[in-house]
C-alpha cells in the first residue's frame, strides 16, 4: 500500500480529507484500522492521453479516475479538466463524494475523475479528441452499474455526450450505455432540471432549516454571495417561496435593497451585462466589495461563490441565523465552531449542495428503466428526497451530535452509514 499511496498521500487536499475522516471517526469511536481502510481508494486509475493539436504538434496529458468506496453502490462523481489537477486532489474529491452520496441517502459510492489540462487552450476539436480518448482509456473501469461520471469543473453536457458516444461505440450497446454518465443533453436522456438542481437544493435546505429555526422562510430576508449557476437559482427559488432576497453579489461587487430585489430582473441584467452591479432598480445600494454582503443584517445567508469566505476574522460580524452552503468549503473550521456556539445553523456543503448528484441519480435511475421524466416531475422528486433527507439529518444531529457543528454531525452520519454497509457485506 505504501508505494501505491505515495501517488497521493502527500497532497494537502488529500490530507485535509483524511483529517475530516479522522474527526468523524473520533466522534463515532471507530478504530484506527477502519480509518486506514477508508482513507484509501479501492482503485486509482491513471491514464495517458495523446492529442494531436490543430497545429500538428503532439501533446501528452495525464488523467485519473479515483474509485473510493462502493459499499453503498456504484461509484459516482464528476470529471474535471484543470491545469492544477493532481492524483491527490482526485482521491480526496472521490472520498468526499462517498460521504456526500451516503449522506444524501442515494445508492452510490464515491468516485472522481480529472485530466491535467487547461481546456481554455484547446479548440473544440482538440477538446473532443481529449475527451473521447480519456473516456476510451477508462472504458473497462466505468459503466452504468459500475462507475457513473458527471460534469465538474470545465466539463459540461457536451463533454458527457462525447463520453456516452465513445462508450457506446466501445461496448456496441448504445441502450445499455445510456446510463454511463449523467447530466447529459436532454436529447440523450438528460434532464434540463439538472441545470437548476444544485441551486434548487441549496434553496430547499435553507427553506427546511428556516422551518426549524425561524418559523418558516416566508418573509425572511436572504443574502446570496455569488450569483453564478448555484447562487442564481438558489435566489430564484427562495424568492418564489416567499423569502425576501435583499442582496446578491458576484466578483465585481454586490447590490443591496432592504426592501427586496426583483430576482428575475437581476438575472436578466447579469446575463446581459455580466454583472449584478449593473442592476439599476430603485433604492438599490451598489458596492464593489462583495465580501461586505456576508455581514448584512439578514435571516438567511447563502455563500455560493468560493471557499473560505467566512473566517475567524469576519465570523463575529455575520448576522444570519441560517447559513446554507452552496459553495464547497465557504466556512473555515474555526468559523464553523464559532457559529455553532452562537446558535447559528450552518447547513454544510456536503448536505446543502447535494441537489446535483441527487438529480443525477434521478436521471440515471430512469435511464436504466428506459423512460423519461418531465422537469416538474424531476424537481418534485428532488424536493421530496432532499426535504426528507435534510430533516432526517437534522433530527439525528439534534439527538446524537448536538454538541458538534452540523457539519461534523453530517460527516459522522455519512461515515457511519458506509461503515455499516461494509460490515454487512463482510468487508471489515
- Residue 403: alpha-carbon gap to chain centroid: 26
Residue 373: all three cell numbers together: 421524466
DSSP state of 273: H
Residues 6+ apart with CB under 8 A from 414: 24, 98, 99, 100, 102, 103, 350
Catalytic, 112? Answer: yes
Residue 242: all three cell numbers together: 416567499
Residues 6+ apart with CB under 8 A from 317: 294, 295
Kindly list the distances between the CA atom of residue 72 and the CA atoms of 89, 301, 370, in Å, as whole numbers in the listed order.
22, 33, 23
Helix (H, G, I), strand (E, B) or coil at 249: strand
Dihedrals phi, psi of 225, to nearest 5 degrees: -95, 105
Q: What is the C-alpha to C-alpha distance for residues 357 and 24, in angstroms, rounded to an integer?
A: 22
Dihedrals phi, psi of 342, to nearest 5 degrees: -80, -5
Given 100, 112, 133, 236, the catalytic residue:
112
For residues 87 and 79, is the Cβ–Cβ distance under 8 A? no
Dihedrals phi, psi of 357, to nearest 5 degrees: -70, -30
For residues 72 and 107, is the Cβ–Cβ distance under 8 A? yes
- Catalytic residue numbers? 112
Amino acid at each position: 500500500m505504501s508505494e501505491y499511496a505515495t501517488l497521493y498521500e502527500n497532497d494537502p487536499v488529500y490530507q485535509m480529507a483524511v483529517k475530516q475522516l479522522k474527526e468523524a471517526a473520533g466522534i463515532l469511536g471507530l478504530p484506527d484500522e477502519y480509518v486506514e481502510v477508508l482513507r484509501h481508494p479501492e482503485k486509482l486509475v491513471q491514464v495517458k492521453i495523446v492529442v494531436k493539436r490543430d497545429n500538428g504538434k503532439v501533446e501528452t496529458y495525464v488523467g485519473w479516475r479515483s474509485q473510493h468506496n462502493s459499499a453503498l453502490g456504484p461509484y459516482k462523481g464528476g470529471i474535471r479538466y484543470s491545469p492544477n489537477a493532481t492524483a491527490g486532489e482526485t482521491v480526496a474529491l472521490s472520498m468526499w463524494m462517498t460521504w456526500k452520496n451516503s449522506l444524501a441517502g442515494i445508492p452510490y459510492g464515491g468516485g472522481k475523475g480529472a485530466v491535467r489540462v487547461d481546456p481554455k487552450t484547446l479548440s473544440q476539436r482538440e477538446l473532443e479528441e481529449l475527451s473521447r480518448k480519456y473516456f476510451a482509456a477508462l472504458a473497462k473501469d466505468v459503466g452504468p452499474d459500475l462507475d457513473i461520471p458527471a460534469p465538474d469543473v470545465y466539463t459540461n453536457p457536451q463533454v458527457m455526450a462525447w463520453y456516452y458516444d465513445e462508450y457506446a461505440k466501445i461496448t456496441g450497446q448504445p441502450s445499455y450505455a445510456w446510463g454511463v454518465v449523467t447530466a447529459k443533453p436532454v436529447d440523450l436522456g438528460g434532464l434540463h432540471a439538472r441545470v437548476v438542481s444544485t441551486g434548487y437544493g441549496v434553496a430547499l435546505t435553507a427553506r427546511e432549516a428556516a422551518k426549524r429555526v425561524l418559523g418558516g422562510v416566508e418573509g425572511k430576508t436572504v443574502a446570496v454571495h455569488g450569483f453564478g449557476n448555484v447562487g442564481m437559482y438558489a435566489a430564484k427559488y427562495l424568492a418564489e417561496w416567499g423569502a425576501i432576497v435583499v442582496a446578491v453579489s458576484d466578483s465585481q461587487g454586490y447590490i443591496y435593497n432592504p426592501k427586496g430585489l426583483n430576482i428575475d430582473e437581476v438575472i436578466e441584467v447579469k446575463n446581459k451585462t455580466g454583472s449584478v452591479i449593473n442592476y439599476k432598480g430603485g433604492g438599490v445600494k451598489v458596492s464593489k466589495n462583495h465580501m461586505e454582503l456576508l455581514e448584512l443584517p439578514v435571516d438567511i445567508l447563502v455563500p455560493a461563490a468560493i471557499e473560505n469566505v467566512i473566517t475567524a476574522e469576519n465570523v463575529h460580524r455575520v448576522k444570519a441565523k441560517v447559513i446554507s452552503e452552496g459553495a464547497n468549503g465557504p466556512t473555515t473550521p474555526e468559523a464553523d465552531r464559532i457559529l455553532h456556539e452562537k446558535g447559528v445553523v450552518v447547513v454544510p456543503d456536503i448536505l446543502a449542495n447535494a441537489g446535483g448528484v441527487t438529480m443525477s441519480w434521478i436521471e440515471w435511475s430512469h435511464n436504466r428503466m428506459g423512460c423519461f421524466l418531465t422537469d416538474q416531475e424531476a424537481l418534485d422528486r428532488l424536493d421530496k428526497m432532499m426535504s426528507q433527507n435534510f430533516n432526517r439529518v437534522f433530527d439525528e444531529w439534534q439527538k446524537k451530535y448536538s454538541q458538534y457543528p452540523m457539519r461534523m454531525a453530517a460527516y459522522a452520519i455519512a461515515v457511519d452509514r458506509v461503515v455499516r454497509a461494509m460490515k454487512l457485506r463482510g468487508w471489515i
